[in-house]
Structure 1
Amino acid sequence: MALNHNILLEVGTNEVELVEFVINNNNKDFNFAINVAKVREVLKISYDEITPMPNSNIEGMIKIRDIVIPVINLKKVLGLYTDDYKKDEKIYLLHCYFNTLHVSFIIDKVLGIQKVTWKMIETGGNLVTEQGNVKLVGVVKLPNKLIQLLDYEQIVANVAPELLENKLSNIEEIQDTDLQLLQSKKILFAEDSSVIRNVLKSLCNKHNLNAVIVKNGQELISTFKQYNPDIVVTDIEMPIIDGLTATKLIKQMNTKTKVIIFSSMYSIENEKKAKTVGIDAFVAKPDLVQLIETMKKL
């Protein structure tokens, strides 16, 4: 089942579509979700189509339309794994694309697509808990169930760090001279992924940038009012208020503030839609060198 990943809903509505899926452990279903924009397709395959790899969390590699893609077993990552798969057993894969990476996740079944508002996704210290070795970035509270949103960037960083490290390796290319123009600017970052937040913190500390980093859209708006930054860099996916809705609010408060979307959901179509709320630039995550160059030009 292929999915349309140019699916930013009408911008500024604070809505998102999620692929809801289930992982079963001892006959108990656990409900999880991922932004439909990150999912290329849902595949049903035989387990023996996966080429094994000597890693407890990476099941192996699979070739999908001439692309070799790592397979991560979410059941193992979340500590919900019981028996080994039989060689000819049918399994479901979520083929995903984010942070310019192709990756797939083993799940038990897909329930469908949920359309929710970011206000329905609760976050905070009491909800950002450990599920196995993975942080939750939020929980969708529906009348009859809870759906957990995982930090998929952290999963990839923990299970196969070399994949994300290859994408972030160009951070070492950034020198103080590259950031001299920005050291006089007040910068506000909004990022819900702990992995990217930590990279941004390291970058700002190393180069003495006058920056504040927040983890959701509500914090972005409240901090913006107090901090009055020159530049805002925000993800799209964020609990409570998404980055595009936040951009719309920011531009209503101060049209002079420059807003950059730094997102794993880059496409030409999504960039066009994001410009309708007044963004000044759209940079594909996790290209930090390009992000710095874009900030310098604004």
Structure 2
Amino acid sequence: MIKCKQLTKRFEELTALDQVDLSVQTGSIFGLVGSNGAGKSTLLRILAGVYRADGGTVTVNSQSVFENRALKSKLRFVPDELALPAGQNLLSMGKQLSRLYPSWDEAWFTELCQRFPVNEKSRFQALSKGNRRQAGIILALASRPEVLLLDEVFDGIDPVIRRLVKQLIAQEVADRRMTVVLASHNLREMEDFCDTLAFLHKGGLILEKELDELSLHLQRVQAVFEKMPPIDSLKQKLCITTYEQTGSLITFVARGTKEDVLAALEQFGPTFKETVPLSLEEVFISEMEAAGYDIDKILG
């Protein structure tokens, strides 16, 4: 398990992380989402032992990561900007890492090199950004880590390779209970992949919830009325978070199960009503508004 308590990191006058509390269960895929500068990369670097925290604690399996060589051998971090040695290639880098990581799997490394369209003999300096990222993923997976930390891992790779990466990671999680923490600013990329999501904003943790829990008690409803009921009456009977009206059509997001929301709406006599799936982005915005955040101010 990964646990952060009151985790704080500063860079001179900038507070990159401000008293962040979160827990990542073993064998889960945990997503960190947020805008640029939210603190996602800083958090990953602290989890990887690259940075030392300025306040609070961070542990992996109850151990501190920073300057813990034994624990670091069980972790792999693929940063957004890969610093692969220009003069080396996948084969030479694999030989080096096989001596550093006790769990290195040479047969798995060979299979991964065959499955990804990257020439294992090409020097890293000759590879495109997408191919360098694929090389980093291959090297990370071949070391069979207990914890895999990924920063914007899907950036710069095509949809087919993204699907392959997701399949391989999901397989490792299912087979070995590998724990994955990945950071992205793209909610749509993560909504069909992660178990739990945490939203960071300006170094603070806004919310952390399991994916199923996020969408279970939020419903987007469209309804048509011959005579439009007063919005205040609707809001009194339904826990509405967002509301739009176009003529006789209203669209709103309300808290509650699908059955309870539609039953409460029925008393207002709609001529038509239906629930419409919510995107993960819409769920997060509703949750943030419920937590008291001014979304227009944040996004503006």
Higher relative contact order by CA 8 Å / sep ≥ 6: 1 or 2?
2
Q: Would the TM-score normalized by the shorter structure come out above 0.5?
A: no
Which structure has the larger Rg over C-alpha atoms? 2
TM-score tier, shorter chain, comes to under 0.3
> Between Structure 1 and Structure 2, which shows a larger proportion of helix residues?
2
